[in-house]
Amino acid sequence: MIAPGSTIGILGGGQLGMMLALAARRFDCAVWVYDPDPDAPAAAIAERHICAPFEQETALAAFCAGVAAITVEREQIPRATLEFCAQHSILRPNPGSVAIAQDRIREKTFFRELGLATAEFAVLRTPADLAAAQTIPYPALLKTAQDGYDGKGQLRLPSPEALAPAWQELGQRPAIVEAMVPLQQEFSVILARNSAGLAVFYPLAENRHRQGILDLSIVPAALPDAVQDQARRWALQIAEALDYIGVLAVEFFHSVDGRLLLNEMAPRPHNSGHFSLDACVHSQFDQQLRSLLDLPLGDTRLLSPVVMLNLLGDLWLDGALDWGHWLRHPQVKPYLYGKKEARRGRKMGHLNILAASREAALRTVAELRGGEVG
Ligand code: AMP
């Protein structure tokens, strides 16, 4: 066990790092953030911000020497950096888990090897792969293997003929082609697993997206118990196969014809778990800290129905934000990430809307949005 009061390190200093740093403060932990971005949101909360490229070994060595244990707040961190941290300190989750999650080809192949269902997909590395990739069901999506998130690096393919030009447009980078699934729902399972192999689950979040970006997470999710049970089993199977320590988010599709399909995973707290900040006994960030330090895992019990609503940069760009409007409901709890520049689709903050039922929370969302839920 690493005692509260120790210094922890976070690779990446975005909003997830910021919220972990805030949780760490309550444990009297100092936080060192490693992020090449001088404006990284977590730096405002951290004791120390090491602002250096992830590849710079002297900076990494100082980081490892100064902290008791390290975790990640994003998956796009070079493999060599992860390995270095694992060798010179304690890194949780392990480098292999992060490396799988940062590459769609590795991730989808890993799911398939575990025997878990995904949307039909084909791997595209060289032009010779094009023919096979045209035989999966269309319409399909072309997704770059790396650096794609929030719908970036993705193109919709109405027919097999669209594949070659679309791949050209994405620079012929390694990619997957994935059949479009008619969706009944999307949801995520968030779990925390400790070094003894014990795992706890958060209540499942039903996720609604707008243009490929998470818009709302609704808890409790309206999903049959059998689907929820199966999703939890698959998520645990993934965590165990990876010998995972930390918070793991696994995203699922529930298709119109009732199939459960894995979408992707994140080796860290997840946007769809932000509801836990207010609606659960312990938040996903508390749990990330507890698993990192080998403290006993906390209770994940849901205290209130909740809807998490993402605040995107569009709101800032489309005119002055009327905070009086957004905050007038006494059950709305705001989180702003302190990002200096608003961009379309950029996550600037979120609201947790607590209510007596999910329906009541959704009614508040509709009110805030002038009649529509989203
Ligand atoms: P991803 O970055 O792969 O999670 O994709 C972002 C969002 O696009 C997902 O949350 C879905 O809403 C949608 N999406 C991605 N892949 C598929 C698919 N195969 N079928 C239907 N919708 C998809």
3-class SS of residue 277: helix
Residue 373 maps to a domain:
no
Predicted pLDDT of residue 207: 98
3-class SS of residue 7: strand
Task: Give pLDDT tens digits along the chain (374 positions).
Answer: 989 999 999 999 999 999 999 999 999 999 999 999 999 999 999 999 999 999 999 999 999 999 999 999 999 999 999 999 999 999 999 999 999 999 999 999 999 999 999 999 999 999 999 999 999 999 999 999 998 766 778 999 999 999 999 999 999 999 999 999 999 999 999 999 999 999 999 999 999 999 889 999 999 999 999 999 999 999 999 999 999 999 999 999 999 999 999 999 999 999 999 999 999 999 999 999 999 999 999 999 999 999 999 999 999 998 888 999 999 999 999 999 999 999 999 999 999 999 999 999 999 999 999 888 87
Predicted pLDDT of residue 73: 98
Query: Is the CB of residue 48 less than 8 Å from the CB of residue 17?
Result: no
Find the CATH number of the domain harbouring 301.
3.30.470.20
Which atom of ligand 1 is closest in space to residue 179's alpha carbon? 19
Distance (Å) from CA 333 to ligand 1 centroid: 28
Paired residues of 246 in beta bridges: 193
Query: Is the CB of residue 33 less than 8 Å from the CB of residue 44?
Result: no
One domain, residues 195 and 287: yes
Distance from C-alpha of 176 to C-alpha of 162, rounded to nearest angstrom: 14
Predicted pLDDT of residue 360: 97
Distance from C-alpha of 192 to C-alpha of 335, rounded to nearest angstrom: 23
Residue 2 maps to a domain:
no
pTM: 0.97
Which atom of ligand 1 is closest in space to residue 214's alpha carbon? 10
One domain, residues 196 and 278: yes
Distance (Å) from CA 128 to ligand 1 centroid: 26
Residue with the smallest CA separation from ligand 1 atom 23 is 180
Residue with the smallest CA separation from ligand 1 atom 7 is 212
Predicted pLDDT of residue 325: 93
Question: How many H-runs (helices) and E-runs (strands) does the chain carry?
Answer: 13, 17
Torsion of CA 293, 269, 253, 204, to 10 degrees: 70
Query: Is the CB of residue 39 less than 8 Å from the CB of residue 18?
Result: no
One domain, residues 289 and 322: yes
One domain, residues 193 and 161: no
Chain centroid to CA 143: 17
Which atom of ligand 1 is closest in space to residue 119's alpha carbon? 19
Cis ω for the linkage preceding 78 (within 30 of 0): no
Predicted pLDDT of residue 344: 94
One domain, residues 217 and 293: yes
Distance (Å) from CA 148 to ligand 1 centroid: 11
Predicted pLDDT of residue 366: 96
Which residues have any ligand 1 atom within 6 Å of their CB?
119, 141, 143, 151, 178, 180-181, 183, 186, 209, 212, 263-264
Residue after which a domain boundary falls, among 91, 111, 144:
91
Domain of 51 in residue numbering reads as 7-91
Find the CATH number of the domain harbouring 144.
3.30.1490.20
Which atom of ligand 1 is closest in space to residue 140's alpha carbon? 19
Q: Closest by alpha carbon to 105, among 181, 176, 178?
A: 176
One domain, residues 224 and 336: yes
One domain, residues 189 and 316: yes
Name the residue of 253, 256, 310 whose CB sits within 8 Å of the most ligand 1 atoms, as the mutation to test its pocket.
253
Q: Closest by alpha carbon to 307, among 238, 207, 237?
A: 207
Predicted pLDDT of residue 321: 85
One domain, residues 133 and 225: no
- β-pairing, 213-219 vs 175-179, is unpaired
Residue with the smallest CA separation from ligand 1 atom 10 is 212
One domain, residues 295 and 193: yes
Paired residues of 62 in beta bridges: none
Predicted pLDDT of residue 371: 83
Which atom of ligand 1 is closest in space to residue 149's alpha carbon? 2
Total domain count for the chain? Answer: 3
Sign of CA dihedral 285, 286, 292, 297: negative
Predicted pLDDT of residue 148: 72
Residue 100 maps to a domain:
no
Distance from C-alpha of 239 to C-alpha of 45, rounded to nearest angstrom: 30
Query: Is the CB of residue 16 less than 8 Å from the CB of residue 73?
Result: yes
One domain, residues 266 and 325: yes
Dig out the tokens for 342 from the structure.
Answer: 């608003």
